[in-house]
Each structure stands twice: as C-alpha cells, then as structure tokens.
Structure 1
Amino acid sequence: MLASDQELEEAGNRLGERLLTTGRTVATAESCTGGWVAKVLTDRAGSSAYVLGGLVTYSNEAKQGLLGVTRKSLDEHGAVSEPVVREMVAGALVATDADVAVAISGVAGPGGGSEEKPVGTVWFAWGSSPAFTVAVVKHFEGDRDQVRRQAVLFALQGVNNFVDEV
C-alpha cells in the first residue's frame, strides 16, 4: 500500500496540531527514512514551535557518534532492532531536549535484507524518556519508495498516539 503525499501531509498536520495543542516538542532520529519524517513535519509553516530538530543517522558510526547508540547493541542486534531504536530515542531526547522523540531504522531495499530481517522490516520507537519508550516492528510490502512512505506514515501516526498517552 502506497502512502500518498496527501496522506503524509495530513498525518503531519494532525501531529503538528496535537503537539501545538499539548504544548509539546518533538525530535526525530531517522535512518532508512532519511529525514522524511522531519521533512513532513517541517513542511507546515510555524512548525518551529514544535519541531526542535532531526538527526539522520544512516550509518552505524553516526548512530553511535550523534545518538550514543552502543557498539554492543549494534553488534548483538544489528541496526534494525528494538535496542537500537530505543537508544536512538534516548539520544535524540538528550541532543535536542525535546519532549518526545521518534526513531526509525529499517531495511527499505531493494537489497540489504536477510532471512531474519527481510526488505520491508522497520523498527520504530517513540518516547519521552528511556523509561517511557514504546518500540514496535512492522513489515511493509513494496519497493523502496513504498516501504519508506509507509514507514513515515506509521511513524507520524505512532507519535500522534503516543502524545495522547504522555
């Protein structure tokens, strides 16, 4: 299923409104989506009121250096894993002092997949502290663009739901 530009825009606007209404701020830590979540959020005028920053940490070195992801987590679980996205959230919160952070790491394709983590496997996390972080894995169908679009939409919707809980 393809997430259209309109669906992404609407999800970004809904999250922006929710953040404004609740007085919360957000930061992004993205790998396979390459900053697309931050792009959707900042497409809206006035988004600087709730978007504090975004980090694109595509390489393991960037995940470690910019977000504090541990070498142990990367070695034991791989970049596309629950421990890594949880650490990405924690690092984004520290780096930006945002109220909420979202992290995404996945295999968008066309290559790079494995039997354990096939193309379309994407881990997400959103949280307001290391102790209050939710992580979930999704498996999306389609080509690289379709996987990434679906991941961006799911991330926006997930943060929107999470903001209601904090």
Structure 2
Amino acid sequence: MQATDQQLETAGNALGDLLIQQGRTMATAESCTGGWVAKVLTDRAGSSAYVMAGLVTYSNEAKQAILGVEEKVLAEHGAVSEPVVRQMVAGAVRATGVDVAVAISGVAGPGGGSEEKPVGTVWFAWGTGPDNTQTRVQHFDGDREQVRRQSVLYVLQGVTEFLKTL
C-alpha cells in the first residue's frame, strides 16, 4: 500500500472535519512518524481549533518523562508494543487535556528490526483515555518513508472511524 500526499491530505481533512463537527480536540504522541501526523493535521488553515499538541517522543526517556510510560513496561515489552502505545495515549490525554489522542510506535527501518518485531511493524492506539483506547498492529512493506507514510494514513483513518462510534 502506498500513501500519497493527496491521500494523506484527504485523510487529514476528513479527520479535521469530524473533529470540528463533534467539537473535539486532539493530540498526537508519535515515535517512528516523528510528528508527521501532527504535520498533516496542521497543514490545514484553522487546525488550531482542534489540534492542541503534537508530542514527538522518539526515545524511551521521552516516552517516560513526557507521557508517563512506565519504565518497567518499556523494559518488559519494548517501545514497539501494545502496552506502550496504550500508555502513550493515556499520557497524551493527561498532559494536554484533549478529548482524543493517537499514539504510534514502530520499526520504520532500515535497521532496528528483530525476528519478533521486523522492520515495518507498527503499533497504534487511539482513544479518549485509559478506559477507552483501541490498539492495532500493522506490518507494512517498503522503505523507511513508505512505512512512515502508511503509518500516518492508517492512524488518520483509524481515529476517524473510532470517532464515528462515539
């Protein structure tokens, strides 16, 4: 799956429209995408009405200090895991006071993969807090940019569908 600039813009605008319609605010907690989700959302004029913060927590230390991800969870599961993205969403909601947050942590490559978590493995979470968070894992093909682009598109579409159920 390729993710073009046009697809990213369309998905970002659809999410922005829905956030405006619902009167909700959002924050991103990004690792492997390095703020790309926040960038897509804020490419649109007027996005300050619904985007409150974009937190790039690339290192484990930043995940702990900014988002409150527990050191033992990182040590036990690794940064690319369901428990970590769950805690990233909860931390982003807590730190920013938004209605909904998304989190992404993955192995974009070209190195860093393992047998258990090969390059292209990306964990996602979105939710309103610890009691209402959905998680997903995807395995994307392609180079670093392709994995990151696909991740951004996937999370934009995923949180849009999630918000439609609230």
The CA deviation at 1:5 is 0.4
What SS class does the counterpart of residue 102 from structure 1 fall into? strand
Aligned equivalents of 2:27, 2:115: Cα separation in 1 = 32
The CA deviation at 1:165 is 1.6
The CA deviation at 1:150 is 0.1
Q: In the alignment, what sits opposite 1:97?
A: 97
The CA deviation at 1:153 is 0.1
Q: In the alignment, what sits opposite 2:163?
A: 163
Aligned equivalents of 2:71, 2:102: Cα separation in 1 = 21
Aligned equivalents of 1:8, 1:56: Cα separation in 2 = 19
1:22 equivalenced with 2:22 (yes/no):
yes
Runs of 5+ unmatched residues, structure 1: none
What SS class does the counterpart of residue 45 from structure 1 fall into? coil
Q: In the alignment, what sits opposite 1:137?
A: 137
Name the TM-score, length of structure 1 as normaliser: 0.99
What SS class does the counterpart of residue 64 from structure 2 fall into? helix
Across the aligned residues of Structure 1 and Structure 2, the Cα RMSD in angstroms comes to 0.5
Aligned equivalents of 1:129, 1:70: Cα separation in 2 = 16
Measured against aligned partners, the alpha-carbon deviations of 1:100-143 in whole angstroms (never above 9, x if no partner) come to: 00000000000000000000000000010101000010000000
Name the TM-score, length of structure 2 as normaliser: 0.99
Aligned equivalents of 2:34, 2:156: Cα separation in 1 = 14
The amino acid that maps onto 1:12 is G
The amino acid that maps onto 2:24 is R
The amino acid that maps onto 1:77 is H
Task: Give identity over the alignment, percent.
Answer: 74
The CA deviation at 1:2 is 1.6
Q: In the alignment, what sits opposite 1:37?
A: 37
Aligned equivalents of 2:137, 2:2: Cα separation in 1 = 18
The amino acid that maps onto 2:76 is E
What SS class does the counterpart of residue 3 from structure 2 fall into? coil
Q: In the alignment, what sits opposite 1:71?
A: 71
Q: In the alignment, what sits opposite 2:55?
A: 55
1:84 equivalenced with 2:84 (yes/no):
yes
What SS class does the counterpart of residue 34 from structure 1 fall into? coil
Runs of 5+ unmatched residues, structure 2: none
What SS class does the counterpart of residue 102 from structure 2 fall into? strand
The CA deviation at 1:151 is 0.0
The CA deviation at 1:70 is 0.3
What SS class does the counterpart of residue 94 from structure 1 fall into? helix
The CA deviation at 1:40 is 0.1
